[in-house]
Amino acid sequence: MIAPMAWAQTNIMDLTLPAIHVSAPAHDFLDGVAMAGDRIVVVGEHGLIAYSDDDGRTWRQAAVPVSVLLTDVAFANAQDGWAVGHMGVILHTSDGGMTWQKQIDGRNVDALSLAAAQAAQAANSALPTVELAVRRAELFQSIGPDRPFLAVLAQSPQQAIVVGAYRMAIRTNDGGKNWSDISLDVLDRLSHNLYDISSVASGIYVSAETGIVFYSTDGGATFPQVTAPTDATLFGIAPTADGSVFAYGVAGAAYLSHDHGATWQSINVGTTSNITSGLLLKSGALVLVSETGGVYISNDNGLTFRSLPEVMPMLLTALAQMPNGDVVVTGSSGVKILSKSDFTKTQ
């Protein structure tokens, strides 16, 4: 998931035009990666989705019905997954990422948002987000479907939550046949951008603009705001091996919480670049990447970090670990595969 300043320009035709075929999909701009069993699936610009069944040596492009920038991808199992992106697009696959179908786009999302706001207002809901909800939803409809979804959490083959710009949030409980707006349940009065959604232990965290973190303990039914670490925008949250949570974001900002976000400890990762993605490896190491190509590893649950000596000459956007232990990194120049040996050295 990339920061707003890197958002690509899209228009309404991109919702109906299929992704164009590219000769080298692993070398285009890629913004997200996930594992579908042993298969690597990546997503990126102009609707590009590609997959590899041989640990990233060769790639095939998937059939995709839209041309918008896709920002994230997640799988509930080896077959069922979702990809999300600009103009409120949500795509679904049931064959491990080989083919994709559009389930919803921003036009439908705006209608869901308005209906939810009107229903909450009519019911005199006490939620703090209701006061401006109808005006917010009406404004979104008048502007058109230009707001991106930025992250998806695949809870099961039937359940998923998607979040994005201006507190957009929707969920499905039936595999995407139907979606419901849950933006009013993200308890943010000012409609900040929601950059990431992560499941950690028994809770779900949403990281947001201006350092806000939301934490759900009821499976995503409600997202109360927990103590904000600072005013630094947070691009994501990753678990640590000891059960803590690690938040990261703009200008190298990083924070560690041992109490589900009630209090935070500032961490020096060793960079002033935007930290764009984080991943807990099977070994227990925590890996972060930055928009200037930095890769940072912690072997003590996020307290200290070392950087890989190799400089990655591109904006790095997302991480996933393959069954063999190697790590897939996506970015502005495509895919890089990092050896598991890079992450097993002592600090």
> According to the model, what pLDDT value does residue 136 have?
86
209-243 per-position pLDDT tens digit: 999 999 999 999 999 999 776 778 999 999 999 99
Q: What average pLDDT does the segment 174-186 reach?
A: 96
Q: What average pLDDT does the segment 25-36 reach?
A: 97
* Confidence check: pLDDT of 347 > 50: no
Least confident of 5-14, 69-78, 136-145, 315-324: 5-14
* Confidence check: pLDDT of 3 > 60: no
Is the separation of the CB atoms in 232 and 251 below 8 Å? yes
The model's confidence at residue 91, banded by pLDDT at 50, 70 and 90, is very high
The model's confidence at residue 346, banded by pLDDT at 50, 70 and 90, is low
Q: Which residue has the tokens 């609707």?
A: 47
Percent of the chain topping pLDDT 70 = 95
Residues with Cβ within 8 Å of residue 217, at least 6 apart in sequence = 202, 203
Q: Tell me what the pLDDT averaged over the chain comes to.
A: 92
- Neighbouring CB atoms inside 10 A of 194's CB total 27
> According to the model, what pLDDT value does residue 10 have?
59
In the structure encoding, which two tokens stand for residue 337, read together?
A: 């595969």
d(CA 264, CA 60): 43
d(CA 91, CA 328): 22
Per DSSP, the chain holds a count of helices (H) and strands (E) of 2, 27
d(CA 33, CA 207): 19
DSSP letter, residue 99: B
122-149 per-position pLDDT tens digit: 999 888 888 888 888 898 888 888 899 9
Nearest to 166 by CA among 127, 197, 142, 137: 137
Q: In what order do the strands lie in the sheet with 295-298?
A: 275-280, 286-290, 295-298, 306-307
Instruction: Return the higher-pLDDT residue of 292 and 132.
Output: 292
Is the separation of the CB atoms in 233 and 291 below 8 Å? no
* Confidence check: pLDDT of 6 > 60: no
